[in-house]
Structure 1
């Protein structure tokens, strides 16, 4: 499968990708190789990965607990301390072997340790493959507020090997599917239509769908790395989706939502806002809602939930001059960004979702 050229790095696919990793290690002559894993990828992914790593350089494994709640500055401090204690220097390499939490934290730690060392992302979840590990965004949450602290800094390379998905739970697969569906909605109508009936898709098709999803994100990011223009289209579903995810994360009465589950809700809500602004037809709106609810269980919102979610919108990273900024659909496959929506319209979007 053909590699994809990104901003100053490449994204390689399947088992052949490891040759690029080994060539990079030999070329740069790293002093130490650190592999960042969580408790799940240490058990299920590291034994698969290590035989592909051809080097005589010292290798150190750094493990953190699994879960979004680990994605904070305290975890980074512990990793920085371990790197220091194990003799990490400017010529060290960090390999991030895991899902979006690992690639986000690992990229941020590497970008700030000794003012920046090399890192390589090997995503092991579908979400990380098609979203988190591509595009140069690295960072952590601030309490329950998503991705408030971070940097934009690209890895030396990304290796995408779908063999890691063999042990991924079904709900985690669906979480990644949400970002793939988003890529179709914002950029490629033909790609969106491939997901209408997943029962016809086999594993070989999945590899091609992942490749196209990464290609779409990379085509957008390559035009606008620092998110001043078209990259904002990737935020479709995320303005409300992130607020919903944060609210459910911090509320002990609520079942925590995976990222993709919250984004799926956000895409329906923001599709409704798009419809009310005469950007998409009612037929398109109903089609989007039906397709997303085919894959994602409906989330129950009570009236008391809405205002706290609206309050969280003010913390969204995309806000400018105190105003909440939405990316909306301008037909299936196209977007329009820097759009505003008042609380009355957002409330009506929740009413639409609940009916």
Structure 2
């Protein structure tokens, strides 16, 4: 897979990733390397990476608990203190090795420690490869509210090694497909169509789908790095998806959802809302629902869940001047931003999802 170059950094793949990392380490004169990982990636991924690093730079591993529960200010304080205790300085480098939580959190840690030190993202899940590690968004949650605190700051490079997909459980693999489906829906119908029958996909096909998905996101971000217009389309399915994810995370009666599982629901809801607001064709809406449910199955909602989820929409990052802004579809590959939606239509969308 060919290296993808952005305005600020490059995305390297497989063998080229380690060649590029070692070249960078030999030239950058870092004082020390700090690896941020969770217990899973520390055990399953860090040894593989260290075996491919050809450098005498001293390193320390900072391990945190896996999952969204670690994406908070308390963990940040612990990591900042650890960096300070272990002698990190302005010439230190952070390697973020993990899924979306690690790349979001680690990028934020690096961007704020001593007013900013270099970091490199090495995503180990599909979701992190195609979405979280690309585009420079870093951040943490505020309580159970997703991604409320953060900065946009780009890594020195992103290294994609699809070897790590062998370490993923099935639900994590499936979670990553949600962002890839989204990229097809907002940008490329031909790409979306490749997901109609995943049973026929080979390992090489998955590698190519990941590459195409990364390229779609890269091209969108380059045109609108600060999310003033076009980049907002990447939030398709996320307005309700994030609210659902937050609600399931904070409700002790609910089993927390993976990010992609919540976004999958959000995309089905946004697709239905698009039929009411943007004239998305009914057969297209049904196709979107059937395709997503064939991959993810259905999440169980109770009637009393709907209003608390809707109430969480006021915290969505796309909101402006008191308006809750949705990204919707006029057709596959043609999104529309800054759409306002009534609560009645949202409730109808839940009914459609359940039907």
1:216 to 2:216 alignment: yes
Asked if 2 retains the 8 angstrom alpha-carbon contact of 1:280 and 1:330, the reply is yes
Q: CA deviation at 1:100?
A: 0.6
Which segment drifts farther, 198-207 or 185-194? 198-207
Distance 1:221 1:70 in 2: 27
Asked if 2 retains the 8 angstrom alpha-carbon contact of 1:237 and 1:267, the reply is yes
Which residue number in structure 2 is paired with residue 102 of structure 1? 102
Deviation string 1:153-194 (CA, Å, 9 cap, x unpaired) is 000000000001101000000100010000000000000000
Q: CA deviation at 1:38?
A: 0.5
Which segment drifts farther, 162-171 or 296-305? 296-305
Deviation string 1:13-49 (CA, Å, 9 cap, x unpaired) is 1122111111111111000011111100011001111
Distance 1:4 1:255 in 2: 38
Could you list the runs of 5+ residues in structure 2 that have no partner in the other structure? none
Deviation string 1:201-246 (CA, Å, 9 cap, x unpaired) is 1001111110000000000000001100000000000000000000
- 3-state DSSP class of the match of 1:30? coil
Which residue number in structure 1 is paired with residue 171 of structure 2? 171
Which residue number in structure 1 is paired with residue 180 of structure 2? 180
**1:18-37 alignment, distance < 5 Å:** 18-37=18-37
- 3-state DSSP class of the match of 1:227? coil
Distance 1:145 1:218 in 2: 26
Distance 1:201 1:350 in 2: 31
Which residue number in structure 2 is paired with residue 55 of structure 1? 55
Q: Which runs of 4+ in 1 moved over 3 A?
A: none
Which residue number in structure 1 is paired with residue 347 of structure 2? 347
- 3-state DSSP class of the match of 2:63? strand
- Describe the shift of the 1:225–1:278 C-alpha distance in structure 2 as closer, same or farther (beyond 3 A): closer
Distance 2:175 2:7 in 1: 26
Give the TM-score, by structure 1 length.
0.99
Could you list the runs of 5+ residues in structure 1 that have no partner in the other structure? none
Which residue number in structure 2 is paired with residue 115 of structure 1? 115
Q: CA deviation at 1:114?
A: 0.4
Deviation string 1:119-162 (CA, Å, 9 cap, x unpaired) is 00000011100110001000000111000000000000000000
Distance 1:5 1:316 in 2: 31
- 3-state DSSP class of the match of 1:199? helix
Instruction: Count the aligned residue pairs.
Output: 355
Distance 2:113 2:255 in 1: 35
- 3-state DSSP class of the match of 1:138? coil
Which residue number in structure 1 is paired with residue 283 of structure 2? 283
Distance 1:322 1:140 in 2: 23
1:143 to 2:168 alignment: no
Asked if 2 retains the 8 angstrom alpha-carbon contact of 1:124 and 1:165, the reply is yes
1:130 to 2:117 alignment: no
**1:153-302 alignment, distance < 5 Å:** 153-302=153-302
Asked if 2 retains the 8 angstrom alpha-carbon contact of 1:7 and 1:154, the reply is no
Distance 2:115 2:343 in 1: 42
- 3-state DSSP class of the match of 2:299? coil
Give the TM-score, by structure 2 length.
0.99
Distance 1:297 1:3 in 2: 35
Q: CA deviation at 1:57?
A: 1.1
**Aligned-pair Cα RMSD in Å:** 0.7
Q: CA deviation at 1:300?
A: 1.4
Asked if 1 retains the 8 angstrom alpha-carbon contact of 2:278 and 2:328, the reply is no
Distance 2:224 2:117 in 1: 24
